[in-house]
């Protein structure tokens, strides 16, 4: 089922869905700067912060559950406090975690990031503008991961801003979040705050956290692994800050690091949040590189694949990753699989995905699931 694990070949631009191809306005031949930021790449020694108490038994790290078994799964409504958010916004979230037969130490965790349909179903609840119930895709994934022993955090970026679904409730989106670029920028801060919150959970081993995202959430998964998030925010603020209706502050130092990223059918253009230039003269810190193994699971009939894969379009991010890895003499951890005869949202929509064929979409869903679970276990353990 693997069509593409390729290097740079062609350059084409096509229309995209909610997130992806943009008309990049940064100069292709901008002078290279050597003011590199955040050089803690996976090929170098180091690790994430280890915040939080162990919870349960003493220990942590890669502690074995010591014969404990999972006897159930519980779902909690939690709030990521505004004190952790660079824009001062509290983010509601779901925390789904295994219930163990006896106390265990710190365990690995996953953060799951929703796409443009939102995390929660439509319908007001006492706690916010949306239903308390997650969309079925996220209920399924969080249950699946919790049953494998992972604590799962699912931030709700949309309900935090007063709406549930980007496509059906555009009129409810605030001015500071009604453009694609503003959504990407805002969700960078959501991701930053959520990572700190998850790291500080007493049951979570901060050195074993991963990201899983879908569509716009897949884009955020990629950005969450970007080696230059801090620089990207500064560069955007200085060069494009007047094009958005939000402030673009820096994030606090000490952001926890993720050890793996699984990005289902993302838009790789990032809507201008990170430059797309692949010119050899472009500043290396303005190019994309993942700091941990990144697995992009895409579809041949999804126009969002265009900047992700050189086999199906410009493949700008794929090219950039190779350029930066060569320049910095580090491993290129960018990996993309493009499933044939599959369309956008093949994981959630199955045979009725947007594009592809019913057979192709179902085959892609099954194959991608195996890749995702295998790579999560390989990176984080169980």
Per-residue confidence band for 127, with pLDDT thresholds at 50, 70 and 90:
confident
Instruction: Give the chain's largest Cα–Cα span.
Output: 59
Is the pLDDT at 8 greater than 90? The verdict is no
The band of 15, judged by pLDDT with boundaries at 50, 70 and 90, is: very low
Confidence (pLDDT) at 270: 98
What is the distance between the alpha carbons of residues 58 and 138, in angstroms, rounded to a whole number? 31
pLDDT of residue 64: 64
Query: Rounded to whole angstroms, how far apart are CA atoms 357 and 350?
Result: 10
The reported pLDDT for the residue numbered 99 is 98
Instruction: Assess contact for 281 and 29: CB atoms under 8 A.
Output: yes
* pLDDT category of residue 175 using cuts at 50, 70 and 90: very high
Across the range 223-229, mean pLDDT stands at 99
| Statement: residue 14 has pLDDT above 60 | no
Residue range 264-282: mean pLDDT, rounded: 97
Least confident piece of the model among 28-42, 60-74, 196-210, 304-318: 28-42
- Residue 351: pLDDT band by 50, 70, 90 thresholds? very high
**pTM of the predicted model, to two decimals?**
0.85
Map out the domains of the chain with their CATH numbers. 70-380 (3.40.50.1820)
Please report which residue ranges of the chain form alpha helices under DSSP H. Answer: 136-147, 180-200, 216-224, 229-240, 316-328, 346-349, 358-380
Instruction: Answer yes or no: is pLDDT of 57 > 80.
Output: no
């Amino acid at each position: 089922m693997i069509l593409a694990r390729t290097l740079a070949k062609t350059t084409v631009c096509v229309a995209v869905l909610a997130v992806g191809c943009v008309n990049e306005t940064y100069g292709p031949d901008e002078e290279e700067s050597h003011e590199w930021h955040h050089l803690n790449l996976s090929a170098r020694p180091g690790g994430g912060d280890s915040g939080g108490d162990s919870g349960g038994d003493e220990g942590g790290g890669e502690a074995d559950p010591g014969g404990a078994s999972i006897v159930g799964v519980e779902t909690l409504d939690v709030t990521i406090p505004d004190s952790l958010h660079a824009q001062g916004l509290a983010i509601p979230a779901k925390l789904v975690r295994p219930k163990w037969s006896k106390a265990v130490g710190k365990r690995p965790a996953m953060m799951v990031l929703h796409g443009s349909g939102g995390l929660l179903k439509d319908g007001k609840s006492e706690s916010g503008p949306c239903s308390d119930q997650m969309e079925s895709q996220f209920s399924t994934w969080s249950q699946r991961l919790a049953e494998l022993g992972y604590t799962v955090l699912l931030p709700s970026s949309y309900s935090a801003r007063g709406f549930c679904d980007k496509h059906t409730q555009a009129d409810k989106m605030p001015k500071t979040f009604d453009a694609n670029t503003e959504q990407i920028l805002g969700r960078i801060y959501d991701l930053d705050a959520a990572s700190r919150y998850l790291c500080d959970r007493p049951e979570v081993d901060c050195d074993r956290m991963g990201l899983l995202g879908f569509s716009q959430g897949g884009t955020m998964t990629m950005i969450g692994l970007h080696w230059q998030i801090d620089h990207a925010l500064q560069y955007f603020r200085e060069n494009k800050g007047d094009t958005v209706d939000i402030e673009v502050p820096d994030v606090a130092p000490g952001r926890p690091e993720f050890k793996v990223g699984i990005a289902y059918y993302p838009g790789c253009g990032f809507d201008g949040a990170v430059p797309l230039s692949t010119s050899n003269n472009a500043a290396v810190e303005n190019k994309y590189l993942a700091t941990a193994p990144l697995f992009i699971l895409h579809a041949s009939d999804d126009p969002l694949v265009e900047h992700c894969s050189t086999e199906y379009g410009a493949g700008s991010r794929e090219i950039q990753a190779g350029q930066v890895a060569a320049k910095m003499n580090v491993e290129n951890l960018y990996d993309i699989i493009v499933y044939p005869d599959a369309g956008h949202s093949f994981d959630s929509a199955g045979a009725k995905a947007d594009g592809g064929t019913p057979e192709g979409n179902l085959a892609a869903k099954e194959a991608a699931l195996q890749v995702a679970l295998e790579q999560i276990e390989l990176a984080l353990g169980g």
